[in-house]
Amino acid sequence: MAMSSGGGDDDAPLSDINTTPLVDVMLVLLIIFLIAVPVVLQTVPLKLPDVRFDPTTTKPENVNLSVTTEGGECAVYWNLSKVNSKELLDLAVNKLKAEIDRQGGPNAAGLELPEAHIRGDVNTPYRCIGGTIYTMQSAGFARVGFISEPPPGGGSST
């Protein structure tokens, strides 16, 4: 700590500023923030999945659906035929039953169920696509996936 005794002329004002209390306060605040910041920034440790675009293998037993809107209403196409919700459910149940029977019945070993692949227009409301997913799952399709366009310049991205 430095201290000035004023020296020769006692009438001259003292122009030195005592910065010691300022430095002490700043160091205390620094220590408080170093301790408090990790407490505030608590996060749940997660391993997020890598996003990859895998090419789809088209099997003849898979169902291809296209979902879009026409005149503000949801439009679902089974391959190229437009269907309503009831028809979609009936077609899906019949397709699943036919595929299970073709493979030897529900108790057959190595039963491979067909998948539903949905192509959704970018401007389609979620209720249309969500309703299609719900209908396909209600019919018994365990695997319902989306077909998307790969990014330009390659087949995969991370």
In the chain the domains, ranked by start, together with CATH numbers, are 63-146 (3.30.420.270)
> pLDDT above 70 covers what percent of the chain?
76
How far is residue 39 CA from its own chain's centroid?
A: 27
Per DSSP, 110 falls in state T
CA distance 66 to 124: 11
Strand 63-70: give its sheet, edge to edge: 81-83, 73-78, 63-70, 116-120, 144-146
Structure tokens at 119: 């192509």
pLDDT in tens, the chain (158 residues): 555 555 556 677 777 888 888 999 999 999 988 887 776 666 556 565 555 666 667 787 889 999 998 888 999 999 888 999 999 999 999 999 999 898 888 888 888 888 999 988 888 898 999 999 999 999 999 989 888 776 566 555 44
State the angle between helix axes of 85-102 and 126-139 in degrees (0 to 180), rounded to the nearest 10. 40
- For residue 115, give Cα distances in angstroms to 57, 58, 78, 147: 11, 10, 13, 12
pLDDT of residue 157: 46
pLDDT reported for residue 2: 55
Q: How far apart are the first and last CA of the chain?
A: 58
Q: What is the pLDDT of residue 77?
A: 93
In the block, tokens 């997660």 appear at 46
Q: What is the pLDDT of residue 158?
A: 45
Q: Is the pTM of this model over 0.75?
A: no
Alpha-carbon gap, residue 87 to 23, rounded angstroms: 77
